[in-house]
């Protein structure tokens, strides 16, 4: 049977704002000098009089405590309680001395005066009329918020989300929840359709409500964008939304029109099929197509002069360019927009260097960039010129937390009003660039600046929506040079030769006579893992002259016996075992330990970083840590509740413990996450999995990530089936069609 205690909150020992769990000291309790109380409470006000219901418990370490199930805040009933409440710091601008003066002036009438005649507070020395109004507003707002948080808690809404919801809607929160809780999914970061749907269910909103169906359809489209799609065919949208909502697809036709009228969707008919776009993505493709066309300016250069310049570059750099490489330099010289593509070993880097030399000879200002820090670093090493990430090139600035909800793009300082100051911009690893990033880049480039896009269209497409490089090439609207010839030095590498064979669908010789491409046949997942550990710890580091942490395990899947999640737990035990000198921290993804190899798994546009010089002194600062950035977890500070990560490009970032769910272990990563990266050696465990996932495109990407050595461990049949399986996961994008429409 529960008991109740009444007293006032003297101070809080511990509080977790995520779930409201609180340890606090209550005073004024009958027969108790002070009482330690524990429980989860939505709002705590220091000095407030409260009634708790629950039970006394005996804690093995802290002794007698009151475990509270409910907390009811009572407004102060006497002058002393009122003075304590006002002087607790709960009301901004009132300290203990001023609280005493207010209560001395009004006595037991204080609370009524504050609520009903706040202007009279100005009778107290030190309080102006303006301050009196502010005090009254705060008291009222706190009472309103307390009431709202209690209301939201009834529907299972956490304190953090509750605070965000109240901040957004204030006193209208009641009508929003009762009428259309699906608004939360549109308006508030951290609330998706699923949470809104759960709240709606608890409130009693019908499954076939108009709001629910519209919100579910939008959620389905945005989920599809998470899989890389820019649109969905109408019938597929209806089918997916029907499965999500448990509602017949016939209900959706009317809502599709309503959403179009509200400009949340765009419908476009092509070849008798209606395509449905979230409005933002339709216009991103449309405007990207327009801006690409605007850059496509023809520069009439004398062919003889270009040939002489190329010959001079060959002589100065002691290189010999083949016909296609020379053609690439010529096309870059004659066009405002040029695309260079080709697989590994075909001389893309040599060609980029020749293009840089050509434009340097004209005194042009050249900027180089790539989508990731690792790719930018590789570009710098290959060219000798500084390359940046595209985000840094565009000077990313922090965006508001709810920016994504408003459908706005990330904010860059370089844009149409403040374009990049460059004559030539070269972007490498273009297969990784999604529709949002190319749109932001093009906005910052004025007509007359040459843009050169370099990439391998056979790599996996970008993680974000769109299929930018492939669509630009397929539009056949711009000059493209594809390098196909494998150069002599590269042809000595079986990594390069086999990558091209895989890409053409030709089978690879697996006799292990190669110096850099090995296949170890194993057919049991646990045995495969043992072999992988032996390779990383013992065999490969000496062979490729690298540390075990530099050797990357790449796997097709997240789940399963050879998925990222299981592999990371096992590899952590062997590559960074427990040690008394290493601090640890549990989080949503498992256990982190100092010294762990970690990866950022979502874009954080506001996270600050710094590059440190001698004695750890910051020499450069910036913002933005991105999906796929990898590094080492250097320190865990339990007192400050922070952890520091040193990324591969030398940036250091500090994470609060709450932000650690943005990281996961990276001893093994998915092949998708390895895009744009290169490692001394890669190990690919391969057994079985969904046919749609195990395809040629994925295997090609994995093999081309290795610089010195590829080792596949697993089933030969799965490997050969991947080469035969040329079916890529279909990605709905239409930039190529938008480009062709722009021509008309």
Interatomic CA distance for residues 169 and 175, integer angstroms: 10
Token readout for 140 is 């009222």
Q: Which residues pair with 26 in a beta bridge?
A: 9, 35
Compute the Cα dihedral for 341, 365, 647, 190 and give only its sign. Answer: negative
Is residue 213 within 8 A of residue 202, CB to CB? The reply is no
Token readout for 33 is 């000098």
Token readout for 359 is 């434009």
Cβ atoms within 10 Å, residue 356: 21
H/E stretch holding 39 = strand 34-40
- The response to whether 590 counts as a known ligand-binding position is no
Residue position matching structure tokens 């093009």: 442
Helix (H, G, I), strand (E, B), or coil: what is residue 643? Answer: strand
Residue 484: which residues within 8 A CB-CB, separation 6 or more?
A: 324, 342, 343, 346
Q: For the chain, what is the radius of gyration of the CA atoms?
A: 31
Is residue 409 within 8 A of residue 394, CB to CB? The reply is no
Torsions phi, psi for 455 (to 5 deg)? 180, 175
- The response to whether 348 counts as a known ligand-binding position is yes
Helix (H, G, I), strand (E, B), or coil: what is residue 514? Answer: coil
Alpha-carbon distance values, 663 to 601, 609, 619, 634 (Å): 6, 15, 25, 13
Residue position matching structure tokens 């009524």: 112
- The response to whether 346 counts as a known ligand-binding position is yes
- The response to whether 559 counts as a known ligand-binding position is no
Q: Which residues pair with 559 in a beta bridge?
A: none
Residue 728: which residues within 8 A CB-CB, separation 6 or more?
A: 695, 696, 697
Angle at CA 220, nearest 5°, toward 214 and 224?
150
Residue ranges of the binding site: 345-349
Residues making up the binding site for ATP: 345-349
């Amino acid at each position: 049977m529960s008991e109740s205690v009444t007293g006032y909150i003297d101070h809080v020992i511990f509080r977790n704002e995520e779930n409201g769990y609180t340890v606090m000291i209550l005073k004024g309790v009958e027969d108790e000098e002070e009482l330690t109380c524990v429980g989860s409470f939505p709002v705590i006000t220091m000095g407030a009089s409260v009634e708790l219901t629950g039970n006394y418990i005996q804690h093995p370490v802290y002794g007698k405590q009151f475990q509270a199930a409910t907390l009811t805040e009572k407004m102060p009933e006497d002058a002393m309680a009122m003075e304590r409440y006002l002087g607790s710091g709960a009301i901004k601008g009132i300290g203990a001395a001023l609280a005493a003066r207010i209560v001395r002036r009004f006595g037991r009438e204080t609370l009524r005066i504050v609520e009903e005649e706040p202007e009279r507070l100005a009778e107290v020395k030190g309080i102006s009329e303006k301050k009196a109004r502010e005090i009254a507003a705060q008291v009222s707002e706190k009472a309103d918020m307390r009431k709202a948080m209690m209301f939201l808690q009834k529907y299972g809404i956490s304190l953090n989300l509750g605070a965000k919801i109240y901040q957004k809607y204030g006193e209208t929160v009641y009508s929003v929840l009762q009428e259309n809780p699906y608004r939360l999914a549109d308006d508030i970061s951290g609330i998706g359709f699923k949470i809104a749907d759960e709240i709606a269910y608890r409130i009693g909103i019908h499954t076939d409500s108009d709001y629910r169906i519209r919100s579910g359809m939008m959620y389905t489209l945005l989920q599809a964008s998470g899989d890389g799609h820019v649109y969905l065919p109408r019938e597929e949208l209806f089918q997916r939304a029907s499965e999500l909502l448990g509602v017949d697809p016939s209900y959706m036709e009317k809502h599709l029109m309503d959403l179009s009228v509200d400009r949340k969707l765009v419908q476009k008919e092509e070849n008798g099929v209606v395509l449905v776009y979230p409005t933002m993505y339709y216009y991103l493709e449309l405007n990207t197509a327009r801006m690409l066309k605007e850059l496509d300016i023809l520069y009439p250069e004398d062919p003889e002069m270009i040939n002489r310049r190329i010959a001079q570059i060959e002589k100065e750099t002691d290189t010999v360019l083949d016909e296609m490489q020379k053609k690439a330099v010529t096309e870059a010289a004659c066009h405002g927009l040029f695309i260079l593509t080709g697989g590994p070993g075909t001389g893309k880097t040599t060609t980029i260097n020749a293009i840089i030399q050509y434009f340097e000879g004209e005194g042009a200002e050249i900027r180089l960039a790539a989508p990731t820090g690792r790719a930018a670093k590789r570009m710098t090493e290959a060219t000798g010129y500084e390359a940046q990430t595209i985000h840094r090139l565009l000077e990313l600035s922090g965006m508001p937390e709810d920016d994504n909800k408003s459908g706005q793009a990330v904010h860059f300082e370089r844009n149409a009003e403040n374009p990049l100051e460059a004559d030539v911009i070269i972007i490498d690893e273009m297969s990784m660039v999604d529709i949002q990033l190319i749109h932001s880049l093009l906005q910052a480039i004025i007509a007359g600046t040459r843009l050169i896009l370099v990439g391998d269209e056979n790599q996996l497409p970008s993680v974000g929506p769109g299929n930018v490089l492939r669509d630009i090439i397929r539009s056949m609207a711009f000059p493209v040079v594809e390098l196909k010839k494998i150069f002599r030095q590269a042809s000595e590498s079986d990594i390069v030769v086999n990558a091209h064979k895989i890409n053409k669908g030709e089978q690879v010789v697996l006799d292990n006579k190669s110096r850099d491409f090995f296949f170890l046949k194993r057919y049991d997942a646990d045995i495969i893992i043992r072999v992988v550990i032996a390779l990383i710890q013992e065999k490969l580091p000496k062979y490729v002259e690298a540390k075990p942490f530099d050797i990357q395990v790449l796997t097709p899947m997240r789940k399963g016996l050879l998925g990222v999640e299981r592999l990371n737990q096992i590899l952590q035990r062997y590559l960074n075992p427990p040690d008394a000198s290493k601090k640890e921290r549990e989080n949503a993804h498992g256990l982190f330990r100092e010294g762990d190899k970690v990866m950022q798994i979502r874009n954080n546009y506001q996270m600050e970083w710094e590059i440190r010089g001698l004695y750890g002194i910051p020499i450069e600062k910036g913002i933005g840590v991105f999906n796929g950035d990898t590094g080492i977890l250097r320190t865990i500070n339990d007192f400050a509740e922070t952890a520091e990560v040193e990324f591969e490009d030398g940036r250091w970032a500090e994470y609060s413990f709450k932000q650690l769910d943005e990281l996961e272990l990276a001893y093994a990563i998915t092949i998708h996450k390895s895009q744009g990266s290169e490692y001394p050696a890669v190990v690919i465990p391969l057994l079985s999995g969904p046919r749609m996932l195990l395809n040629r495109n994925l295997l090609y990407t994995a093999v081309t990530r290795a610089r010195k050595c590829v080792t596949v461990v697993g089933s030969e049949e799965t490997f050969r089936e991947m080469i035969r399986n040329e079916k890529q996961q279909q990605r709905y994008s239409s930039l190529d069609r938008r480009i062709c429409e722009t021509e008309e």
